[in-house]
Amino acid sequence: MMVIDYDKILMLYLERLTGTISPEEDAWLTGRLLADPEVQQIWAQIEREGHAIDLQLFTESLSASQSLNLLKESIKTAEPEVRRFQKITLKKRWAAKLSIAASILLLFGYGWFYYNHHKKITDTNAIVSLITSGQQPVSLQLSTGKKVYLNNKTPQKIAVGKTVLAASDQNLAFSPGQDTSSNLLVIPKGENYQITLSDGTEVILNASSSLKFPFHFGRATRDVYLTGEAYFKVAKDKQHPFIVHTPLTQVQVVGTQFNINSYETNRVTTALIEGKVLTSTKGESPVDLNPGHAAVYTTTRGFTVKPVDTQDVISWIKGVYYFHDLTLQTLAGNMSRIYNVEITIDNASIAAKSVSGILDRSNLPALLEDLKTTMGIQYYYSQDKLHIK
């Protein structure tokens, strides 16, 4: 497996170096370099070897005829895999690999790249495959400035000073330690992630969200900072109120369950599932919430309290999103965040049309087909975008 992995990464390295890598391959490679230690090691090895022979200059000096001649020679002199450890010079080994790569790139690279980058893909499974290949990992930026990538498929333990992180592709927990400085957990588009804080509070973060928190709450209050959307199940501690700061408001509790949505720049919605919360902002009277109600704060109207269906509010935790009378334009924005894909509505006349339904985070094809049936839309994927018309 290691030999296959090396060859694949080598080819992608050469394609990136010569500017012929496809957007999908580049996105896949970026994701692997961020999340896969083995790929990181292979890449580092290739870079070291490349620098040792001035690889950039070498690739630029190869002509099409030279490449074909080298390719013919490499085929003639190819030896079985069992003899690959025979001592050869670094430059000869790279010349053989480069000749194959360069000839393929020179003969087929541009045409293949142009076709794949500009063709219109209508098969939903192919669209999903292209979208998921560019998924970015969850990251934790430590107070020291170091960044750690967390959603590896294999659980990992990471020592950060006296704190030990236990991370997987779905959640993060850690030993409290004594470090009270703030860290930033960043959830990219297309991902959800759960974190258990040092006091036992559980937080589930929606896609395109972030949470600033310490490894240890060392003050009279337990303060965290949220952008995006998150569900909180706060551990009870009457002596140390839990405060969530959003870009516009703050929510104070001692132990309860609630959801905060702050995706929109001028709007924050706090929905109470159980218990009691107090939400406030500068210049406004604090608002007490009862379970089953939401406090909606906007910069133009202040706070408005209204009843909500709490199951609808937190259904996103299970990957299900209910939408009621949304414009297609607004729905497309939500889809972009949930599925991690840029969406363009090519037909302006349908952008303002209203739509209601259910969005399953794990089933983009079903949603696209439902929109096709109910609204008569067509869709295709091209140049890294999902087009709706």
List pLDDT tens digits, range 312-341: 999 999 999 999 899 999 999 999 999 999
- Among 313, 344, 365, the domain boundary falls at 313
Q: How far is CA 152 from CA 39, 42, 298, in A?
A: 13, 17, 38
- The type of residue at 18 is T
Same domain, residue pair 282 and 174:
yes
- Most confident region among 73-77, 85-89, 249-253 by mean pLDDT: 249-253
Indicate whether 125 belongs to any domain: no
pLDDT value of position 74: 47
- Among 287, 313, 339, the domain boundary falls at 313
Instruction: Report, as an integer, the average pLDDT of 335-362.
Output: 93
Residues 40, 2 contacting (CB under 8 angstroms): no
Same domain, residue pair 291 and 374:
no
CATH number for 329: 3.55.50.30
pLDDT value of position 89: 52
Q: How far is CA 158 from CA 36, 100, 165, 175, in A?
A: 15, 40, 5, 11
- Most confident region among 21-25, 122-126, 298-302 by mean pLDDT: 298-302
Cα–Cα distance, 294 to 198 (Å, whole number): 27
Considering only residues 134 and 73, tell me which one the structure prediction assigns the higher pLDDT. Answer: 134
Same domain, residue pair 229 and 352:
no
Indicate whether 145 belongs to any domain: no
Q: Is the pLDDT of residue 261 over 60?
A: yes
Same domain, residue pair 162 and 261:
yes
Report the percent of the chain where pLDDT is more than 70: 79
Instruction: Kindly report the pTM of this predicted structure.
Output: 0.72
- Among 271, 294, 313, the domain boundary falls at 313
CATH number for 257: 2.60.120.1440
* C-alpha radius of gyration, the chain, whole number: 26
Indicate whether 262 belongs to any domain: yes
In this structure, the dihedral spanned by the alpha carbons of residues 294, 340, 135 and 322, taken in order and rounded to 10 degrees, is: 50
Same domain, residue pair 302 and 157:
yes
pLDDT, one tens digit per residue, over 21-77 is 888 888 888 888 887 877 887 887 777 655 544 445 545 544 444 444 544 454 454
Indicate whether 128 belongs to any domain: no
Q: Which residue bears the tokens 């309290």?
A: 305
Same domain, residue pair 327 and 309:
no
Mean residue pLDDT of the chain comes to 82
pLDDT value of position 130: 82
Same domain, residue pair 362 and 249:
no
- Most confident region among 133-137, 227-231, 383-387 by mean pLDDT: 227-231
Q: Is the pLDDT of residue 8 over 50?
A: yes
Indicate whether 257 belongs to any domain: yes
pLDDT value of position 67: 45
Cα–Cα distance, 147 to 186 (Å, whole number): 10
Indicate whether 183 belongs to any domain: yes
* Nearest CA among 204, 128, 147, 199 for reference residue 172: 204
Instruction: Report, as an integer, the average pLDDT of 124-145.
Output: 86
Report the percent of the chain where pLDDT is more than 90: 53
Indicate whether 174 belongs to any domain: yes
Cα–Cα distance, 27 to 225 (Å, whole number): 30
φ and ψ at 366, to 5 degrees?
-65, -40
Same domain, residue pair 101 and 158:
no
Length of the chain as a residue count:
389
Same domain, residue pair 250 and 305:
yes
Instruction: Report, as an integer, the average pLDDT of 188-197.
Output: 95
- The parent domain of residue 24 ranges over 2-118
Same domain, residue pair 302 and 324:
no
Bridge partners (DSSP) of residue 280 are 250
pLDDT value of position 14: 75
Same domain, residue pair 226 and 359:
no
Same domain, residue pair 230 and 161:
yes
pLDDT value of position 277: 95
Number of domains in the chain: 3
Indicate whether 208 belongs to any domain: yes
